[in-house]
């Protein structure tokens, strides 16, 4: 399989499929969320379906508190190395994820 550096969402993020774990601080102004895969990721992310069948996929969301910048990626193991693939998101999905972040952790993140 050819390794891609980028892919995209083919269906907007929706609740309750998408959940975010407690954030991990990655620096003074950014956090990382792990996204548990309780759903079929192939329904949402182009090209992830075949990989998901092999198992071992981790989905992450990076968030910058200063700029509201969101970046999604998934990581999978290929032979001996971890491969990271960035996921391009549509505006509606970004807004839903921002809403989830602010609803669940907004006060804790901005008062840290």
- Residue 106 included in any domain: no
Phi, psi dihedral angles at 62 (to 5 degrees): -100, 140
> For the chain, how many structural domains are there in total?
1
Return the pLDDT at 80: 74
Does residue 1 fall inside a structural domain?
Answer: no
Does a structural domain hold residue 108? no
Tell me the pTM: 0.86
In tens, the pLDDT along 61-101 reads 999 999 999 999 998 877 778 888 999 999 999 999 999 99
Q: Which CA distances in Å does 15 have to 55, 63, 79?
A: 23, 19, 33
CB 41 within 8 A of CB 26: no
Q: Which domain holds residue 22?
A: 6-90
Mean of pLDDT values over 100-107:
89
């Amino acid at each position: 399989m050819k390794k891609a550096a980028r892919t995209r969402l083919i269906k907007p993020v929706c609740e309750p499929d998408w959940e975010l774990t407690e954030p991990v601080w990655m620096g003074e102004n950014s956090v990382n969320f792990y996204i548990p895969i309780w759903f079929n990721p192939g329904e949402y992310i182009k090209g992830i379906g075949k990989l998901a069948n092999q198992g071992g996929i981790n989905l992450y969301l990076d968030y910058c508190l200063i700029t509201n910048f969101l970046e999604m990626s998934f990581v999978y193991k290929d032979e001996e190395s971890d491969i990271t693939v960035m996921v391009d998101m549509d505006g509606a999905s970004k807004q839903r994820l921002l809403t989830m972040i602010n609803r669940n952790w907004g006060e804790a993140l901005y008062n840290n």
